[in-house]
Copies of this chain bind each other. A is one copy, B any other.
């Protein structure tokens, strides 16, 4: 199992939440040399002590994967780093793991959202950046404990075309695929990234703002109309980046989730904001479209207001805590 064996690789997974743990587990079980890096010390301690504990398609599996905090990881020299941190942690984490990134190191970004390449470019050359999108899901129930079920796939594409980069990435596709991750090299990952961003850019913020699950939002009368407005803004900005989204198809794809198995689910942004009172990835979804729209001269008022409302909700969690020391009577005002 050396890194000259084209069937396996030396891989570091950065961000050992549900998704990072899934990929780490499956790649390790397929014979790759895998290390985890995570910023949450409780998670590092749990996995170091008891191994990664996974409820994996109904079976309990324990995998004693090596895991490091960012400060401990400096001696790792992976062929590829797979990024699975939250978008808002990406910059700081890449800064912390600079020692791992050499001139030959590839970085694979599988984060939801848009614009991550602008951050990664600060740490690696463009021809060593691989963009991807995945439909796999995963749940984390406690430090070192994940729940993995269902199916998924992964699409990869080099950020910048080039023979050496594509050769490596096609090897990586084989490695992922042989680990059961259903990987393909795509000629249009940017399209898939934008399409998935539309899903996140609609349901994540709407369910978080209105504190409901996907199916419940779908039962409100304006749901399809609001979703179409948001997707149209995404499409207008995507077109400026040479991605031609099929608005009707994307809207139909999103509205289909209202009555699918996923209808009972609360999106990850809801978990972050409403359940855990943590900052969201909004600046990498609707916020990114808003920023890009300003750059390209494309108006994106729905993305703008949704971003402003989500940030407002984030801030109000703290503001209400500050005020809760002073009980305020609920007064009726006819204004």
Contacts and interface: CB of A to CB of B under 8 A. Distances in A.
Interface in A297-335: 301-302, 304-306, 308-309, 311-313, 315-316, 319-320, 323, 328, 330-335
B331 A139 contact: yes
Contacts of A330: 266, 275
Interface residues of A, number: 59
Given A212-B320, A216-B316, A320-B216, A331 B265 contact: yes
Contacts of A225: 308
Contact of A335 (B267, B302, B316): B267
A4 interface: no
Contact of A268 (B211, B213, B306, B335): B335
A19 interface: yes
A58 to B, nearest CB: 15
Contacts of A332: 18, 139-141, 147, 268, 271
Interface in A163-216: 199-200, 204, 206, 209-213, 216
A212 B319 contact: yes
A219 B315 contact: yes
Nearest to A269: B335
Interface string A88-119: 00000000000000000000000010000000
Interface string A33-74: 000000000000000000000000000000000000000000
A305 to B, nearest CB: 5
Given A140-B334, A267-B333, A335-B112, A220 B17 contact: no
A225 B84 CA distance: 33
Nearest to A257: B335
Contacts of A320: 212, 216
A1 interface: no
Contacts of A333: 137, 139, 262, 265-268, 271
A334 B220 contact: no
A248 interface: no
Contacts of A209: 209, 309
B311 A221 contact: yes
Contacts of A18: 332, 334
